[in-house]
Structure 1
Amino acid sequence: MWPKTLSEIARILASPLPAQSTTTSTPWASAQIQSLSTDSRKVSAGELFFAIRGETHDGHQFVAAALQKGAAAAVVESQWLESNPQWAERCLAVKDTTLALRQLGKAFRKEFSFPVFAVGGSNGKTTTKEMLGALLASNGALVTRTYKSENGFLGLAITLTKESHNKSNPPKALIAEIGIDEVGAMSEHVAIAQPDVALLTALGPEHLAGLGSWDTAVEEELLLFRKSPNNCRRVWQLSEPRLAAVAHEMRQGDVVVLDESDTPQLDAKTLELIHAREVGCLLFKVLEQRATHSVVRAQWRPQSGNAQQKDWTSQISVPLPGIHNARNFALALATAALTGANQSDLEKAWQEFIPPEMRSRVVQLNSGTTLYDDCYNASPASMDAAFDALLANEWKSKHKVLILGDMLDLGTESKSWHLGLIPKLLKIENSDLCLFG
């Protein structure tokens, strides 16, 4: 955790200190670093700059600018430094800067005095992460989380090394969003994040260009539960059929989330765990489903033997449309409840929730038009959920204009997934359709 000296960082990265830094005339190696940056435009004086090679930019092109702005040092790739020796006294050289940043993130994780919550799944990760963040931040507690949807190999490392992960004033918790787009990614993420609590949202088709098939994508997501430490508590959203199918893997201390109106057929072992209260359970029902929000009744039953928690029932409004967002909320609420938070604190904290932009967000424009903004990303599951929201009774008679982009990264199955949307799309009355892609 921060602060760290450059000597400590060099040791973690297995990078040699520049020769001049070892002399008694310079404090370079003992300089206290409080944070890092991968963006030369935003780097602050005294920060550590990581030169990352991205898809569109190479951070090595901006090393000089970062150092001139006051960065304490830069982490660069050895090959680049060989061609730019004039910066040798201000740089730590590594083979791969992205891997080095992940190595630093792994070292930080080992020092955490606070729990890590990992959110995986194909759809709803960012919304669920923000919901959970609001619920955990009761009474003004500091809860750090993945910025927007930066949930890949680089994003996870940046999340773990946030400036607020400081020894003198650590946060209450960290919520790390975990994204995958290739086989093997989840195992690597879990090895670094080492979550104390793990939850999976919907398990729809995603990134099939890299993952190959829906079945493979599901198996990869399930590794968040299967590869996490043995003491990790998993939160099972059993309205998701692919999670219900492997619910026999549930263990004591886990938590289940059940929809009263959609309770799946569960195996005997799972039912025994639930009835014996060897797992926590949140039972919810959508009492009211409107075009812009839903009202959810949630009943929390803690694991037996937890004398500090009592059963409680709450009725809460979720300011996002669609049954999928009601389920996301129930998942976040169950996760927050397992920490021991009481009902009144959770209800109060929920009032501070702000829906994330571009994800099922309903905005009233000055013209009187209602904008349903779900344009961050498109997948078969998210598109299907958006169509369900547009089929709400309040909007049935209103004129609707649908502006749809193509769903990317679906590999060889792309055409069939696009064609599969047509039957539900045809049910949306009084609508015009604009297609882009």
Structure 2
Amino acid sequence: MKLGIDLGTLAKAAGGKIIKGEPAAPFDSFTTDTRKLGAGDFFWALKGAAHDAHDFLPQTLPLGAGGWLVREDAVAGLGELPRAVVAVPDTLKALQALAAWHRRRFSIPITAITGSNGKSTAKEMLRSIFAAAGETCSNAGNLNNQFGLPLSLLELGPRHKFGVFELGASRRGDIREIGDVARPTCGVITNVGPSHLEYFGDMETIFETKTELAGCLAEEGTLVYNYDDQYLSRLNGRKMKKLSFGRSPDADLRILEGDKLRLEYDNGVVDIALPFAGGHNFYNAAAAAGAALASGLNFAPIRKGLEHYTPPPMRLQELKFGGATVILDAYNANPQSMASALKAVACREKPIYLMLGDMKELGQHSAHYHTDLGAALAHVGAEKIFLAGPEMRPAVDACLRAGRKHVDYAETLDGWLQEARALIRAGKGTFLIKASRSMKFERIVEGL
């Protein structure tokens, strides 16, 4: 992380005070990880759920730490000090404050994307669109929380023409907290669904959390949202600058009917050849296109960016093994994304094989949603269905009740892993592999 500011500016931006060092001393780079600490780097001591980085401060001195940013209540017990120390009430809040200060240094279009499903895909699609028009700053992987989003924003530099950042949430207030840091010129809400329901409790809380983004926009910012979503449709009457997308004829950016993606906006129509699976990705593409339009781009870079987009690993990723097509969608799973994946695979080359694992973080609603999934599986027309995980047990029972003659089930993936690999090696048909991240279903293809 290189900022090129001085110690006094750091202390002021982070809401702290200098304990040791001169205000004019340079503050160029910092890290929160001792393994990445370089000579002269500041070490930013964060406290996580499992570890408190203040415990590792002595280890940073032999590594050449140029300074520390620490909690005020930890100062008394620090012992030997590096050449510069800044103390703050809360090191995470200080990180967010510095990121918010840094973001205000740039007047480029900044888009923040949230939603129960598709936010990562929509973010990567928009990044591809923006990249066709200029260098783009974006958060990598899952750096979308109270810690990761500020670190990502601090990567913004003079070379960047656009920024696009994914915002994640697992409790009410999360989007507000990091949305206020990003202060986006455009906010995107892909949809509202039963994701992380174990933590939110109910759908209404999820809706309220996702729509916190509307209150975080920069002045004259635009909210882009899914007009067809049963919850987000409530935003239709809200008085604010907004752009809706969907299949409804009343949406601002319309997804026209057909097997190929056609978008209509302001009396103009564009055809886009999406190079990936899943009709539900029409919505993700429309979300990205809407954000691009709100950021001042036209359909030329939108088409170019979407047609050159490559899905990230394990997100509807198509892999070929001889004559077999594997759709690896094992990054995450919830009821909405599972239904979308099944719809995407239903029209693919037969025979179809389903290899599915638990949908996690549904809490007390888990049995209900897995039962619904099982009933749906009976009507997909799959040659074989493999299910694994303790939460999939209700899905097995529901699938059999709905008329399916047989389901291969195991408590863990290892129960049918070798049989699944053998079928893929045989090289015929389409294989959908999908489960929540903790199930590690990518192991199925790692052995091929």
TM-score for the superposition, normalised by structure 2: 0.80
Give the aligned residue type for 2:88: V
Give the aligned residue type for 1:297: R
The answer for the alignment partner of 2:102 in structure 1 is 108
Q: CA deviation at 1:151?
A: 1.2
Deviations 1:84-123 (A, max 9, x none): 3113644322232212111111222222221221101111
Distance 1:436 1:67, change over 3 A: farther
- SS of the equivalent of 1:49 reads strand
Q: CA deviation at 1:54?
A: 2.3
The answer for the alignment partner of 2:355 in structure 1 is 402
The answer for the alignment partner of 2:389 in structure 1 is 436
The answer for the alignment partner of 1:322 in structure 2 is 278
119, 130, 135: which one aligns with 1:125: 119
379, 396, 401: which one aligns with 1:427: 379
336, 341, 346: which one aligns with 2:302: 346
Distance 1:40 1:338, change over 3 A: same
Between 1:220-229 and 1:330-339, the stretch displaced more is 220-229
Distance 1:354 1:38, change over 3 A: farther
Alignment check: 8 A CA contact 1:358 1:376 kept = yes
The answer for the alignment partner of 2:395 in structure 1 is none
Structure 2: state its 5+ residue gaps: 391-448
Q: Percent identity?
A: 27
The answer for the alignment partner of 2:230 in structure 1 is 241
Distance 2:31 2:308 in 1: 29
1:412 aligns with 2:364: yes
The answer for the alignment partner of 2:446 in structure 1 is none
92, 96, 99: which one aligns with 1:98: 92
Distance 2:360 2:368 in 1: 13
The answer for the alignment partner of 1:362 in structure 2 is 318
Alignment check: 8 A CA contact 1:67 1:74 kept = no
**What are the equivalent positions in structure 2 for 1:20-419 lying under 5 Å apart?**
21-22=21-22, 29-87=23-81, 89-139=83-133, 141-162=134-155, 165-166=156-157, 169-229=158-218, 231-251=220-240, 253-259=241-247, 263=248, 281-288=252-259, 295-301=260-266, 311-365=267-321, 367-392=322-347, 394-395=348-349, 397-404=350-357, 406-419=358-371
Between 1:378-387 and 1:183-192, the stretch displaced more is 183-192
Alignment check: 8 A CA contact 1:255 1:334 kept = yes
Give the aligned residue type for 1:55: A
- SS of the equivalent of 1:245 reads helix
Q: CA deviation at 1:217?
A: 0.7
Distance 2:15 2:246 in 1: 48
Alignment check: 8 A CA contact 1:76 1:92 kept = yes
Alignment check: 8 A CA contact 2:272 2:307 kept = no
Distance 1:35 1:181, change over 3 A: same
- SS of the equivalent of 2:293 reads helix
Q: CA deviation at 1:226?
A: 4.2
Distance 1:204 1:83, change over 3 A: same
Alignment check: 8 A CA contact 1:195 1:232 kept = yes
- RMSD of Structure 2 on Structure 1 (CA): 2.4
Distance 1:350 1:183, change over 3 A: closer
Give the aligned residue type for 2:19: P
Distance 2:211 2:66 in 1: 41
Alignment check: 8 A CA contact 1:319 1:355 kept = no
Distance 1:321 1:41 in 2: 39
Alignment check: 8 A CA contact 2:184 2:218 kept = yes
Deviations 1:265-310 (A, max 9, x none): xxxxxx6xx7xxxxxx32222532xxxxxx2112221xxxxxxxxx
- SS of the equivalent of 2:311 reads coil
Distance 1:319 1:57 in 2: 43
Distance 2:363 2:299 in 1: 45
Distance 1:234 1:246 in 2: 10
Alignment check: 8 A CA contact 2:125 2:305 kept = no
The answer for the alignment partner of 1:8 in structure 2 is 9
- SS of the equivalent of 1:87 reads coil
Distance 1:427 1:35 in 2: 56
The answer for the alignment partner of 1:268 in structure 2 is none
Structure 1: state its 5+ residue gaps: 23-28, 265-270, 275-280, 289-294, 302-310
Alignment check: 8 A CA contact 1:81 1:87 kept = no
Distance 2:368 2:377 in 1: 15
Distance 1:244 1:110, change over 3 A: same
Distance 1:208 1:423 in 2: 21
Distance 1:400 1:340, change over 3 A: same
Q: CA deviation at 1:368?
A: 4.1
Distance 1:345 1:184, change over 3 A: closer
Deviations 1:162-213 (A, max 9, x none): 2xx23xx241121121111112222222322222111100210122232220
- SS of the equivalent of 2:310 reads coil
Distance 2:166 2:296 in 1: 22
Give the aligned residue type for 1:72: G
Give the aligned residue type for 1:236: Y
Distance 1:73 1:347 in 2: 47
Distance 1:212 1:321, change over 3 A: same
Distance 1:70 1:331 in 2: 46
- SS of the equivalent of 1:336 reads helix
Deviations 1:2-48 (A, max 9, x none): 321122112223333234x24xxxxxx43433443222222344433
Q: How many residues align?
A: 388
Q: CA deviation at 1:319?
A: 2.5
Between 1:349-358 and 1:110-119, the stretch displaced more is 349-358
Give the aligned residue type for 2:243: V
Give the aligned residue type for 1:387: L
Distance 1:399 1:322, change over 3 A: closer
Give the aligned residue type for 1:41: R
Between 1:42-51 and 1:112-121, the stretch displaced more is 42-51
Give the aligned residue type for 2:280: H
